[in-house]
């Protein structure tokens, strides 16, 4: 047997580690930002019936254009979008990968602002796209001025903006997105590359009241892409369905790089059945937001510093030894995420019982250790 180092791997992949969060058998799994509420029985039944209806035809390739699904997704998003404005893939990660396959690649640059979603650099490496970190302020915020300055300085071909950001959970002000878009237009006008500006809204349904979606910015901005997922609010992480809204020409570009028949008939049937039951699936969103807000309030009472969260998770700091707190929580059956940022951890807002278990365990750990930075 050989090992990885002995294979003729591309140089830009050497030394990298694959993406992955711990998958441990513990009572409270609050580390991957899943919707921990089970799929409602009525929706599970509808999905099973729809999948059964297509099962007899699985000897044939699926609808390559998944027109019915794109039409249903456009109806869900609203904002005057049609099926022509929508594209879908096996999770929003595949959508982001396709964007880099079409608009990134050798000799091209992806700009993002870390700390952010840890898949962004990995997706860049996998497509041989140069990754540039524009950085954030000390409190992990991203201002319009800084973001635009980084676009003007680095002249990227693609920009990834997470809103709400992961792992910090805070949504971007639309002025920041507008500033980034204007800066890329200035670059292009000056003879440089015009960038595709991608706003990753994986957690958009959990946003605080008054938070506006980047979908409102799409008209007249042919270089703007807004990505979404059914993994989070829809509680369909296992179905693997992500999608985007953009100018129709963007979907045409992604058709050039997508794998043949990339969305299976089973995936299409599952997503269409789910979209027929949006109200039932999204019924848990308000419950999750209430638990998220409960976590934020309780952590402040414990002397910790949670970030403002527009998502279904809470990023919190002011821990002297975050790794030790993580281990002690795990000893109590509570799995949260150590995102590698000193003095910080991230926890998914789950059910009321899961949230209570986390808060109780954390209070016990802090009582034992007195851990505060």
Average pLDDT over every residue of 187-212:
95
Q: Which two tokens stand for residue 191?
A: 């003879």
Q: Which two tokens stand for residue 59?
A: 């000897």
**What are 29's strand-pairing partners?**
335
Least reliable range by pLDDT among 9-13, 25-29, 282-286: 9-13
Q: Which residue ranges make up each domain of the chain?
A: 21-40+283-369, 41-276
Average pLDDT over every residue of 222-250:
97
pLDDT of residue 292: 98
Contacts of residue 92, defined as CB under 8 A and 6 or more positions apart, other chains included, come to 200, 202, 227, 228, 229, 231, 242, 243, 244
CATH architecture of 21-40+283-369: Alpha-Beta Complex (3.90)
CATH number of 41-276: 3.40.640.10
Average pLDDT over every residue of 235-264:
98
pLDDT of residue 18: 87
372 band by pLDDT with thresholds 50, 70 and 90: low
pLDDT of residue 2: 80
Q: Residue 371 pLDDT > 80, yes or no?
A: no
Average pLDDT over every residue of 104-113:
97
Instruction: List, for residues 72-93, the tens digit of each pLDDT value.
Output: 999 999 999 999 999 999 999 9
CA–CA distance, 188 with 190 (Å, rounded to integer): 5
pLDDT of residue 210: 94
pLDDT of residue 22: 82
Nearest to 99 by CA among 237, 246, 207, 215: 246
18: left (phi over 0), alpha (psi -120 to 50) or beta: beta
Average pLDDT over every residue of 3-17:
88
Q: What is the mean pLDDT of the chain?
A: 96
Integer angstrom CA distances of residue 356 from 187, 308, 363: 50, 20, 11
pLDDT of residue 373: 57
Average pLDDT over every residue of 198-223:
97
Integer angstrom CA distances of residue 16 from 2, 5, 129: 18, 11, 15
Q: Which two tokens stand for residue 142?
A: 């991203």
């Amino acid at each position: 047997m050989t090992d990885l180092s002995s294979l003729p791997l591309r140089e830009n992949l050497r030394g990298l580690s694959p993406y992955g969060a711990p998958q441990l058998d513990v009572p409270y799994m609050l580390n991957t930002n899943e919707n921990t509420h089970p799929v409602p029985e009525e929706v599970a039944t509808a999905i099973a019936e729809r999948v059964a209806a297509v099962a007899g035809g699985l000897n044939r390739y699926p609808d390559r254009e998944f027109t019915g699904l794109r039409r249903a997704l456009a109806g869900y998003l609203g904002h005057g979008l049609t099926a022509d404005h929508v594209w879908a893939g096996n999770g929003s990660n595949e959508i982001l990968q396709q964007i880099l396959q079409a608009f990134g690649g050798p000799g091209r640059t992806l700009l993002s602002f870390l700390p952010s979603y840890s898949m962004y650099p990995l997706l860049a490496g996998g497509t041989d796209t140069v990754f540039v970190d524009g950085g954030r302020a000390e409190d992990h915020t991203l201002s319009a001025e800084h973001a635009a300055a980084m676009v003007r300085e680095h002249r990227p071909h693609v920009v990834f903006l997470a809103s709400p950001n992961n792992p910090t959970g805070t949504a971007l002000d639309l002025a920041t997105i507008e500033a980034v878009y204007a800066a890329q237009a200035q670059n292009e006008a000056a003879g440089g590359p015009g960038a595709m500006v991608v706003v990753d809204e994986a957690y958009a349904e959990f946003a605080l009241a008054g938070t506006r979606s980047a979908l409102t910015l799409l008209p007249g901005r042919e270089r703007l892409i807004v990505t979404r997922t059914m993994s989070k609010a829809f509680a369909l992480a296992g179905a693997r369905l992500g999608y985007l809204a953009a100018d129709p020409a963007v979907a045409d570009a992604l058709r050039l790089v997508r794998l043949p028949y990339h969305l299976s008939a089973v995936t299409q049937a599952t997503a269409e059945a789910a979209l027929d039951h949006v109200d039932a699936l999204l019924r848990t969103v308000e419950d999750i937001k209430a638990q998220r807000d409960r976590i934020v309030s309780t952590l402040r009472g414990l002397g910790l510093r949670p970030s403002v969260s527009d998502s279904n998770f809470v990023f919190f700091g002011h821990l002297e030894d975050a790794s030790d707190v993580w281990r002690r929580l795990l000893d109590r059956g509570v799995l949260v995420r150590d995102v590698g940022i000193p003095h910080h951890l991230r926890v998914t807002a789950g059910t009321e019982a899961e949230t209570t278990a986390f808060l109780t365990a954390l209070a016990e750990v802090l009582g034992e250790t007195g851990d505060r930075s």
